[in-house]
Amino acid sequence: MGDNRIHGKLPTSIGKIPSSLGNLTSLSELYLDGNSLQGSIPSSLGNCLKLQALTLAHNNLNGTIPETILSIPSLSTLVDLSHNSLSGLLPPQVSRLINLGELYLSGNKLAGEIPSTLGECVVLRYLFLNGNSFEGIIPQSLKELRGLQELDLSSNKLTGKIPTFLGRLPFLYNLNLSYNDFEGKIPEEGMFKNASALSITGNRNLCGGISTLRLPVCITLPRPLTVASAKHRRSISPKSVRISYAELLKATNGFSSENLIGSGGYGSVYKGILSYNCNEKVVAVKVLNLQQEGASKTFMAECNSLRNIRHRNLIKILTVCSGVDYRGNDFKALVFEFMANGNLEGWLHPTPQANGKNVPKNLSLLQRLNIAIDVASAMDYLHHHCVIPIVHRDIKPSNILLDDDMNAYVGDFGLAKFLPDFSNSSGQMSLTTVVKGSTGYLAPEYAMGGKVSTQGDIYSFGTVLLEMFTGKGPTEDMFKEDLNLHNFSKTALLSEDQVMESVDERLMIDKGEHGQETINNDGKLKECLYSVLKVGVSCSVESPEERGDISDILMELSVIRDMKLQKQP
> From the annotation, which residues make up the binding site?
286
Q: How would you classify residue 223: left for phi > 0, otherwise alpha for psi between -120 and 50, otherwise beta?
A: beta
Q: For the chain, percent helix, then strand, then coil, each to nearest 5?
A: 30, 25, 45
**Can you name the residues that pair with 30 across neighbouring β-strands?**
54
Three-state secondary-structure class, residue 479: coil
Burial (CB count within 10 angstroms: exposed 0-12, middle 13-18, buried 19+), residue 394 = buried
Which residues are within 8 A (CB) of 87 and not within 5 positions of it... i.e. 6 or more apart?
62, 63, 64, 108, 109, 110, 111
Determine the 3-state secondary structure of 409 from DSSP. Answer: strand
Concatenate the DSSP letters of all residues of 308-322 into one string: S---TTBPPEEEEEE
Answer left, alpha or beta for residue 469, where phi above 0 means left and psi between -120 and 50 means alpha. Answer: alpha
CA distances to 35, 458, 539, 549 from 391, in Å = 31, 10, 16, 13
Please identify which of the residues 80, 152, 394, 412 carries the catalytic annotation.
394
Integer distance in angstroms from the first to the last C-alpha of the chain? 50
> What does DSSP assign to residue 534?
H
Q: Are residues 390 and 550 in contact, defined by beta-carbon separation less than 8 angstroms? A: no
As a whole number of angstroms, the distance between CA 543 and CA 450 comes to 11
Residue list for the binding site for ATP:
286
Q: Which residues is 517 bridged to in the sheet?
A: 511
Q: Which stretch of DSSP H or E encloses residue 86?
A: strand 85-89
* 152 counts as catalytic: no
Question: Do strands 174-176 and 198-199 pair parallel, antiparallel, or not at all (unpaired)?
Answer: parallel
Residue 299 · residue 378 · CB < 8 Å: no
| Nearest CA-CA partner of 371 in 484, 467, 478, 243 | 467
Widest distance between CA atoms in the chain: 87
Cα radius of gyration rounded to whole Å, the chain: 27
DSSP E strand boundaries for 169-316 = 174-176, 181-186, 198-199, 205-208, 225-228, 233-236, 260-264, 267-276, 279-288
Cβ atoms of 11 and 38 closer than 8 Å: no
Q: Give dist(CA 216, CA 104) in Å, integer.
A: 33
Distance CA 372, CA 413 (A): 18
Instruction: Give the number of other CB atoms < 10 A from CB of residue 565.
Output: 10
Give me the active site residues, please.
394
